[in-house]
Structure 1
């Protein structure tokens, strides 16, 4: 079990245990890649002559920071599976590789080595280490966020994730954002943005301590700025072009979409509701995500924007609308 999970019913607990004992369903989604637990991957990189000190320093920094937020137990590094040694020509990995990330039912993070994947060690070690640190720091917050599972039709169903809620019948607390909007009223986007802001801050500080700098080439510069949270507005709007495999080009496209759809929207949210206090709201929000308790967050927002701000901003009327059983 993750540290802040609640499971209602022995049948749900047994189903989750079975899912978490077998990662083959997740790795089967990437049949071209070979996966190793992150500790084995790091040992392999070290044996090839790579210095992995920066990653381990970042891990210690993340552990100390997350304890401040109420998360005392980090995701076991053994439950992070790193894909590499791909048999697919031109395969390109990293944080924005398709279908990767933390999977809460299996309690496993599936990630890929940054850069060309037709090898067992990274072509660009500094970028790969920063990318892996960002992914781990990000997924640790997902792992440590409050969750509640109940039995619906014999399957584990999540009714709470952090400060977001879902009825057993499927209605969500907040609605999806309209396509193209620069702001957000969706709690999923807010929490994803908060997790990535924190992960990229840790990665940025780790890079600075290690003396890592942005590479001169376009792809490398985009990757470094992405993992360290230093992408400019011009970066987001500019097609980097440059040489690279089709997958590498698609990777940068996914990077830019994530920056626009998640990180930029979260930054706008903080500026909108906490001008001059963005860091304070970010801390209160992440603490609430870990604990699942929205009272302090609600009080913080109420003190600045009036009573009932949290519900007024995020709650959709559909959350209280019964779902008709059309199968009868």
Structure 2
């Protein structure tokens, strides 16, 4: 199975989904920046996330030369950043595909510090995807991922938990839980760097909404009015992600963790990284009774083992 994964990693192109975008490696991009404050944003953030993730059990970060950044596009309406379509971590290739914030048809960085902060969020986010526990199995000649973090798939490919309903305000889906936990960590790191460097006073319109998103400070009212222009689709994707992931995860933590929601969040992230769910399931059992994890998350259609079995 290892040789099949290696072969796929050697032949699978990272940029096929973005034929109009020119990519650079993240460390090449950082080396070319003349804006020292922007470089400082990423420097401080990288140091902060290394310490934070080490506390959670992740001792090695996604290598910076495994991060490809879209820097230019031949499409006039291409707008990059965390919410650019079809980007993120590629678990087969063990690499990340992201884009710099802003109009990709314009080589100028209109807000260099926000570009750096957005890249920091993306990198911190994908470091956790890269560092999360995973198992693979060979099925009908194909390599499939059978376990990722605290989530599993049974031999028929069914996920451990069901999808949330479209109008859900909270979540009981492990995919959303892990994505929400991952991005909460990334946004928290971005927010701390922004506060240290006083970025809130230097980010102006039309970038205020993206700054609030990157630092985890969006409010429901932020999406009450339309935002026309090149960034409109980006902002629509931002709203969908916030409502479908960020808000649902925060509501889940509040409902399930109560006054201990920070502790629950930490247990989720640690279990994702290490693959040992005993701390998380034990915490849930003490609070909600035996076998709380399957009662909260397990889909009736799932036929595989529960976490820890």
TM-score by length of 1: 0.89
Task: Answer yes or no: is 1:78 the counterpart of 2:65.
Answer: yes
The change in CA–CA distance for 1:251 and 1:154 in structure 2 (over 3 A counts) is same
Counterpart CA distance in 1 for 2:64 and 2:284 is: 36
| Kept in 2: contact 1:138–1:199 (CA 8 A) | yes
Aligned residue for 2:267? 284
Following TM superposition, where does structure 1 have runs of at least 4 consecutive aligned residues deviating by more than 6 angstroms?
none
The one of 3, 28, 41 aligned to 2:16: 28
Aligned residue for 1:161? 148
The one of 256, 259, 266 aligned to 2:242: 259
Q: Deviations over 1:120-158 (max 9, x none)?
A: 452210111010000000000000000001111222110
Task: Answer yes or no: is 1:188 the counterpart of 2:171.
Answer: no
Gaps of at least 5 residues in structure 2 are 305-309
Counterpart CA distance in 2 for 1:103 and 1:113 is: 18
The change in CA–CA distance for 1:122 and 1:319 in structure 2 (over 3 A counts) is same
The one of 205, 215, 228 aligned to 2:215: 228
Counterpart CA distance in 1 for 2:108 and 2:41 is: 16
| Kept in 1: contact 2:177–2:249 (CA 8 A) | yes
Aligned residue for 2:104? 117
Counterpart CA distance in 2 for 1:139 and 1:231 is: 21
Aligned residue for 1:19? 8
Q: Deviations over 1:219-271 (max 9, x none)?
A: 31110000000111211x412425x22xx101000001100000000000000
Q: Deviations over 1:32-64 (max 9, x none)?
A: 110011001111223x76641110110111011
Aligned residue for 1:299? 282
The change in CA–CA distance for 1:138 and 1:21 in structure 2 (over 3 A counts) is same
Counterpart CA distance in 1 for 2:165 and 2:92 is: 28
- How many pairs align? 303
Counterpart CA distance in 1 for 2:169 and 2:38 is: 40
| Secondary structure of residue in 1 paired with 2:77 | coil
Counterpart CA distance in 1 for 2:274 and 2:108 is: 38
Q: Please state how far the C-alpha of 1:115 moved relative to its aligned partner.
A: 0.4
Counterpart CA distance in 1 for 2:40 and 2:11 is: 31
TM-score by length of 2: 0.94
